[in-house]
Structures are given as C-alpha cells and as structure tokens.
Amino acid sequence: MCWFAVGELARFVLLYGAVEVAYGDWRQVRLVGVMTLLTIIILVAMTVTTGMLYTLRGALWEIRARTDEGVANEKFFRTLDRVAPAFAVLYLAWGFHVEDARDIYQMDLFHHFYDMTEASWFGEDSDVGQGLTDLDWRVSLGAMVVMFALKMFFAKLVEKGRSGFYGFAAAFSEFAFVFYGLNATVAFADARSEWVTHRSVVEGTTEVWAEAQEKIPVWDDLTSWFGDVWPLFLDAVAVPLAWLTVAMLVFGAYSDDTRALVKGTRLEKGVDRLEGSHDLTQRSFDQVTGGFRDRWVPLANSLRMVFRAGAPLFGMMCLCYVGVTVAGEYADRWIRHLVGTEAEWVWAYQGPPLSFVLDLVVTVLGMAILAATYDIAATRARLSGEPLSDV
C-alpha cells in the first residue's frame, strides 16, 4: 500500500510539472522537458510495480525454497535494474504508455481550461493540450539520435553483465528514444503516406480491396465480430499475461527467447537453421518479426511456464484478475450512486479520493493474484523436478 500511495503522489507531481513546464519562453526546450517527465512517469510506474511485487517475495513458497537451498535474497535495486530493460520492451510493445500520455493531455486541458476557452472566445490560437505534439521534428530527430546512441551503449553494457544501474538507464533511454522521436517519426510517416497514396499501384489495390469487401457477403459480420471480441480477449487474457510476465521478471523466471518457446517441438529445428544461416538472413528476419516477438514471445513463454502447472491455473488467474477489475468498476459506480450529489461538479474533488482507494484495492489484489499464480506454478514445477526458471 505504501508503494502505491507514494507512486500516486509522485505521479501527480510529475503530471502537474509536465503541464506547467510546457508554457513559457524556449518552447522547444520546454517540450523536451515534457517528454522527459513522461519518461520519468513511466519509470515511476515501473519502480512501483517492481516494489509491490518485491514486497511479496517473502510470502512465496518458491522464494522460501530458494532461501533454504542457500540462494541469497536479491536486493531491490538489483531486481529493479534487472527488470528494467525487459519491462520497457513489454510496456511499449503493449501500448501501456498511451494511458500515461492521455493523463498528461487530460490534466493539461483541465488545468488550463480557462486559458483555452479565453483564446477560443477571442479567436486566438492556443497551445493547451499540445505539449506532446508540438515538438519540432528537427529537435525530435536530434533527440532521437542521441537517445538511440545511449540506448545501444547501455544495452551493450547490460549484455556484458556490468554492475550498476545500466539496466535502469537502458530502460530510460528506450522510453526516451520512442517519445523524443515520436514527432519526427509521425512527420516522416505522414510525408511517406501522402506520397504512397498517390501511387497508381496503391490506388488500384485500394479499389480492389474495397470491391472485395462489398462482394464477400460475410465480411462485415466477420470483421464486426472480430472487432468486438478482440479487445475483450486482450483485456481478459493478454493483459493479465503481460503483467504475469512482469511478475516473473521480479521473481526470477522470465524468457523472451524464441528457442525456449519451441523447445522440444519440430519447430526447434527451424530455429537451428535460422541461427546457422547467414548474418544478413538473421538480421532481415529480426527486422520483419521484431515487433511480433517483443509483444508475443515473452507472453507465450509465460503461458508455457504456467501451463506446466495446468491450464486451470491460468484460467483461474485470468478469471480472478478480470473479476477484481470489473468489481472495482462496479464499486465505483455503486458508491457514486449511493453518495449522489445535486451538482455534478462536486465529483471534481470527490472523485479523486474515491478513485485512489478503489485503484489501491484493485492494484493490491491484482499483484497478489499474479504472485500467487507464479508461486503455484513454480512450486508444482519444483515438486515435479523441473524448476520454473529452467526455460
């Protein structure tokens, strides 16, 4: 609970700083500061998540078994440094940073509401709500190059096993590389999209695709069904599995290796052939499949490890995780309806304390569910003579 409370306080201070530092002279420098604060906000979330899971280590059977075997208890900052690089990849791959960016945008609108309405009333331009989008593409590109160099540098140090906070620095540079370079990437993508759209091959392909959609009778029903089901699948299965992967990082069992996923199957021979191929072939394969592997391979390995303890364990974890989340949302609606108010604006100051308490309960229970799932899977694997970390 202390971790969560301190994390929420730090998050609010950083959000407030991000919406204040954006206005004034030296606009572009200030916008770089906004991106930096966004990066720090995510690092705070990483630290809090790691801290909450770390405090549960002493209650796990698996950790006690390791202690009895003479394995020294890992220090928190060592755990944080080890978790940071993989956490950054998972956090970005699954788009969890979008919520952090949305919070900055919403606080900016709420905090500078009168400035925005005044400018609109007098027909003037307003910078409110543009702290994450107004960074000049040249500044964005320059910062992106610098962060890329730092990212590669710290990644090499992490690969060599150097001691220190290089893992944490690698995570910071990974996040900063994405956020600093976002505006330059969007600018180049828009220019490329405009050029590609007017190519005759693309225009012809678009017409053929539209015609095929009209002639296939079940297309609309199929895409509508998939559009309804896919988000539910992500929220109910993929997101809990992603956070379970983070928990495994903290507790010491994690793999993002493709070989571990296909170990013992016929596909392992394909990995052998790929690893024995020409360097150019391997690099090309990595470029094509990099995003997919960052997003799904760690989750698939986590699912594989949990399935060793039985599929019902994974199903129960998803059910409990979703149940706690849905119960928190219903509790919020029920309390608001129970308390009520004659003026809607009153919830502007009544809402945050309620949201804090409910988020605290939901987050603590969610972390406990993840820890329990890992502990059951690890204990069953240990009793069967196959440690969970042996991936």
Write the pLDDT tens digit of every residue in 67-124.
887 777 778 888 888 788 778 877 877 778 888 888 888 888 888 777 778 777 877 7
Nearest in space to 372 (alpha carbons), one of 235, 260, 240 = 240
Nearest in space to 43 (alpha carbons), one of 96, 1, 93 = 96
Which of 250-259, 312-321, 382-391 is the most confident on average? 312-321
Nearest in space to 42 (alpha carbons), one of 20, 17, 10 = 10
Kindly report which listed range (158-172, 243-257, 340-354) carries the lowest average pLDDT score. 243-257
CA distance 173 to 92: 12
Mean pLDDT of 335-341: 83
Tens of pLDDT, residue by residue over 281-306, are 333 334 333 443 444 455 566 666 76
Which of 121-130, 208-217, 362-371 is the most confident on average? 362-371
pTM of the model: 0.77
Q: Position 139: which residue type?
A: V
pLDDT of 264 > 60? The answer is no
Spatial neighbors of 45 by CB under 8 A, at least 6 apart, are 7, 11, 100
pLDDT of 345 > 80? The answer is no
pLDDT of 256 > 70? The answer is no
Helix residue ranges, H only, the chain:
2-21, 27-54, 61-68, 76-93, 97-111, 113-121, 137-159, 166-180, 182-197, 200-215, 219-233, 239-251, 258-262, 267-275, 279-307, 311-339, 347-383
**C-alpha pair distances (Å), 156 with each of 83, 86, 125, 262, 328:** 16, 14, 46, 27, 42
Spatial neighbors of 17 by CB under 8 A, at least 6 apart, are 37
Q: Which residue's structure tokens are 């986590």? A: 302
CA distance 109 to 335: 27
CA distance 315 to 238: 12
CA distance 219 to 328: 37
Contact by Cβ (8 Å): 56, 76 = no
**Burial 206-243, CB ≥16 within 10 A → b, else e:** eeeeeeeeeeeeeeeeeeeeeeeeeeeeeebbbbbbbb
More confident residue, 295 or 340: 340
Tens of pLDDT, residue by residue over 13-68, are 999 998 888 888 888 888 888 888 988 999 999 999 999 999 998 888 888 887 88
Tens of pLDDT, residue by residue over 217-246, are 666 666 677 778 888 888 888 888 888 888
Model pLDDT, residue 96: 83
Model pLDDT, residue 330: 95
Model pLDDT, residue 366: 94
Model pLDDT, residue 207: 59
Token pair listed for 156: 């090499």
Q: Could you write out the DSSP letters of every residue in 99-128? A: HHHHHHHHHHHHHTHHHHHHHHHTT----T
Model pLDDT, residue 286: 41
Tens of pLDDT, residue by residue over 130-159, are 878 888 878 888 888 888 888 888 878 777
